[in-house]
Amino acid sequence: MGVHDAAQWLLPAWVRTCLGAGATASPSEIEYVGERLLARWSEPGRHFHNTRHLADVLAHVDELAEEAHEPELVRLAAWYHGAVFDAAERASFAHRGGEDERASAALARLELGELGLPQRAVDRVAELVTALARHTPMPGDDDCAVLCDADLAMLAAEPQRYKAYLTALRAEYAHIPVEDFVRARIAILRRLQERARLFASPLGHGWEEPARQNVDAELQRLEKELLTLEAEHELAAGRETTSAAEADEQPADGSSPASPGSTPSLS
């Protein structure tokens, strides 16, 4: 989904959301900022964290909106939650998945402030974006719970779509060696498994079981893949050791070493 395809419905939704949140700028000014945001979401290399993911998160916010106190601010936070993204750093996947919540929150403060939103609303959107670095809403923060659940909702996707999600995610981090990626993903999945609940909002609880099934199945597959990779490395290391030992036994003149108890041929 490119920026032009996404703009067909996302841009009008963006304008409505900003106006509903109290923006005083003109619709054309708001639309211009929205176009720049969509351009960010459409940057090359965004195989998963792209406009399709943005649309999915916004759709899931709509599903949970009745539980939010300020749904328009939650929607704005969804727009900005992955606005700044960089998968180039090898450690990014293991630590923050390429999404820079701090920089995205700063961008939200700048642009929403320029659009004339009330300062309290700007601060709240930035706070919600920053909270996604933990995906652990504070008790009683229903808006944060809705946003976190909407962002994690892909975990509960039907198997075929979940598989497509994993393919896109791997493509996004194709520069990371396979074993590094597998280890990082295993660490993420284990942290998810350890959580008492994956979804914090009451309506999000319905996603719990399918998400657990997807996480468990992926973790089992990756643990097997890691064992295979480790075995391959051990085999390769053994071959290198054998080759090095054989090279050490080779005589300095390049001739083949004599077998024990034999006499080198003089012919």
Question: Mind listing the pLDDT tens digit for each residue in 107-126?
Answer: 999 999 999 999 999 999 99
Please tell me whether residue 202 adopts helix, strand or coil conformation. coil
Window from 39-48, 199-208, 226-235 with minimum mean pLDDT:
226-235
Question: What is the rounded CA–CA span in Å between residue 57 and residue 100?
Answer: 17
Question: What is the rounded CA–CA span in Å between residue 97 and residue 38?
Answer: 20
Question: What is the rounded CA–CA span in Å between residue 82 and residue 95?
Answer: 15
Task: With a cut of 70, say whether residue 95 has pLDDT above it.
Answer: no
Long-range contacts of 112-115 (CB under 8 A, 24+ apart): 112/18, 112/23, 112/76, 114/25, 114/33, 115/18, 115/23, 115/24, 115/25, 115/29, 115/30, 115/33
Question: Mind listing the pLDDT tens digit for each residue in 213-258?
Answer: 999 999 999 999 999 999 988 887 776 666 655 555 555 555 544 4
Q: What is the pLDDT of residue 119?
A: 98
Domain ranges (residues) in the chain: 3-242
What is the overall mean pLDDT for the chain? Answer: 87
* pLDDT tier at 72, thresholds 50, 70, 90: very high
**3-242 sits in which CATH class?**
mainly alpha
Q: What is the pLDDT of residue 260?
A: 37
C-alpha dist (Å) from residue 204 to 12, 50, 110, 199, 260: 27, 23, 31, 5, 74
Q: How far out from the chain centre does Cα 222 lie?
A: 17
More confident residue, 132 or 4: 132
Cα R_g (the chain), whole angstroms: 26
Q: What is the pLDDT of residue 8?
A: 83
